[in-house]
Chain A
Amino acid sequence: DAGVIQSPRHEVTEMGQEVTLRCKPISGHNSLFWYRQTMMRGLELLIYFNNNVPIDDSGMPEDRFSAKMPNASFSTLKIQPSEPRDSAVYFCASSPRSSGVTYEQYFGPGTRLTVT
């Protein structure tokens, strides 16, 4: 299995631009999570899906952030418009059971976002 796949691995963009991060979970996994990691705040859960349905988006910082999961094998995290303080590493993770975070999570390699 290829594991959780994220693209792009690195993204540099200018303030105000739209940014879309992509994630392909491990095949057969029912739950998908988006995290953000910064030096100041560490790892934070942004949103998670069970069976393609958003369950908890309380970690999404602002309305500028949105996430979708149109099918079981693909999810996007969009920031529009982007700001310098959004610079961070964004991780996607998936889990094999519908009960979400109860079970072991498998992380992707992350997308390093820099907003100038």
Chain B
Amino acid sequence: KQEVTQIPAALSVPEGENLVLNCSFTDSAIYNLQWFRQDPGKGLTSLLLIQSSQREQTSGRLNASLDKSSGRSTLYIAASQPGDSATYLCAVRGANNLFFGTGTRLTVIP
């Protein structure tokens, strides 16, 4: 069974700092990988989707990379802002399922 791990579980950074969130998965036979943001008590907002044939995707200050062979993805956030504070989840798509990591809780300190 696919296992998805996110490290660190929590991260605090001062405003303006660049940061990287990590996601690793055990089975490299994936169709795509998706990064989500979840605010407390809220649903999930999709940030970036990387197909298995892609290496990276960019949206504004966010850049996500995918290395399927090593089972890793990173989410890079440039010039972090207090509004970026949330839990970030990665999810990998297998044949018939979407497997989620447990998330990284990010706090950006003003």
Q: How far is the CA of A105 from the CA of B43 in the complex (A)?
A: 12
- A70-92: which have CB < 8 Å to B? 91
Q: How many residues of A contact B (CB 8 A)?
A: 22
Interface residue tally on B, bucketed by range: 20 to 34
Cβ of A91 and Cβ of B43 under 8 Å apart? yes
Q: Which of B43, B46, B97, B102 has the largest number of chain A CB atoms within 10 A?
A: B43
Cβ–Cβ < 8 Å partners of A44 in chain B? 100
Cβ–Cβ < 8 Å partners of B97 in chain A? 45, 56, 58-59, 101
- Judge if B49 is at the interface, Cβ distance under 8 Å: yes
- Judge if A49 is at the interface, Cβ distance under 8 Å: no
Q: How far is the CA of A43 from the CA of B102 in the complex (A)?
A: 8
- Judge if A14 is at the interface, Cβ distance under 8 Å: no
Q: How far is the CA of A59 from the CA of B32 in the complex (A)?
A: 20
- Residues on A lying within 8 angstroms of B by beta carbon are 4, 33, 42-45, 55-56, 58-59, 91, 93, 101-110
